[in-house]
Structures are given as structure tokens and as C-alpha cells.
Amino acid sequence: MLLLAIVAVTTLAANSARQLRYMAVAFFGVSLAAHLIDDGTLAVSQILISACAALVASAILFVAARDRRFGEDPGWRLWLATIVAAATTAAAFAFLRPETGDEINTNLLGPDPSGVTTEVAAFWLLSSGIAILLTARGAVRGSLGALLMLTGTQLLVRMMPGPELALTLLLSWLQVVVALAGAFLIVNQRAAREA
């Protein structure tokens, strides 16, 4: 539960940041906390790969900023994104939570084998990402939204049966490519605006 709280707070920090560099650092915090949520199926190799990808993605955005002041003021979009994300998370959890009949047993620090914490974190990240992406004016917040959505997706993929290491690798590559494409767009939009 503590990691879930960290995910929520760092998502809000990334969402409210006016500077791209702060946004990149906050995203790394979100991603790290999300991947450390233990649902009883965690493997060290997967955590390492996901953390590396998150670090590289954050570094790409950090470098793309070029100076510490560059960014995008969220303004009213911050509140809209937060309210929409909170409402959508609750709705998604109510509609899409599997009906297993198992008792939900969460605690503050230990693992959560029921998967509730992972699911809530995934739904929160997906809905925050959607809200940020849909209200973004440019590539700065657009990239953040896309990366948050992808992190949420990674958590959901982790819960399904299948070739876990291969999927972790594939999604980590995808995260780096999303960051690269986002950074490319940020640089180009900035060049177009400053011309």
C-alpha cells in the first residue's frame, strides 16, 4: 500500500510539474515505485529490466529538455486530469476486477498476493495517462501521458500468465522508443515554436 501511495503522489508531482526535467525525475519515481509493487510474482531480472528502461526513458526526456526552465504549464489540466483519473480508477476497478471470491488482504509494507494493489496502481496510471494525453497541448505532457499509460500497461501484463521475461523486455524496449519519439517531437515542436 505504501508503494501505491508513492505511485499516486509521484504521478501528481509529474502531472503538476512545469519543467520537463522535474517531470522526467518524477516519472522515474512513478515507474520505480510501480515496478516494486510486490504481488508475489516479482522476479529480480524483470524488476531490473523495467527499472533500467524507466531510467533510460527518464534520461531521454531529461536531456531533451536542454535547460531546466523548459516545460509546459499544466494549469487547469492538472485538476481535470486528477479528477478524471481518480473517478476512472474507481470505475475501472469496480467493472474490471476479476470475480475470484478470494479475500482481499492488503497491508502497508508487505507483498499483496491478491494483486489488488497492482491493479489499482495500473488503473490509476492508465487513467492518469489518458487524462494527461487527451488534455495535453504539446509533446511535453503528451510524452508523459504516453509513458504513464505504458507503465500501467506493464503492470497489467505482469499479472497475466505467459513468457514474462520476453514480454518485460519487449515492453521495456517499447518504453524507450516511446520516450525517444516523445523527445524527438519535443525538440521539433520547440524548434518550430522558437523559429
Dist. CA 33–CA 56, nearest whole Å: 16
- Asked if 53 interacts with other proteins (CB under 8 A), we say no
**Minimal distance in Å, beta carbon 69 to other proteins?**
21
Does residue 85 belong to the site contacting other proteins (CB under 8 A)?
A: no
Under the phi-then-psi rule, with left for phi > 0, alpha for psi from -120 to 50, and beta for the rest, what region is 104? beta
Distances from the Cα of 16 to the Cα of 9, 27, 82, 136, 139, angstroms = 11, 12, 10, 12, 15
Distance CA(84)–CA(89), nearest Å, equals: 8
| Residue 64 identity (one-letter amino acid) | A
Q: Does residue 74 touch other proteins according to CB under 8 A?
A: no
Q: Where are the alpha helices (DSSP H) in the chain?
A: 2-16, 20-36, 44-65, 76-96, 116-135, 139-159, 164-194
By CB under 8 A, tell whether 192 contacts other proteins.
yes
Of residues 132 through 191, those in contact with other proteins by CB under 8 A are 133-134, 136, 138-139, 142, 145-146, 149-150, 152-153, 156-157, 159-163, 165-167, 169-171, 173-174, 177-178, 181-182, 184-185, 188-189, 191
- List residues binding other proteins (CB under 8 A): 95-96, 98-100, 122, 126, 129-130, 133-134, 136, 138-139, 142, 145-146, 149-150, 152-153, 156-157, 159-163, 165-167, 169-171, 173-174, 177-178, 181-182, 184-185, 188-189, 191-192, 195
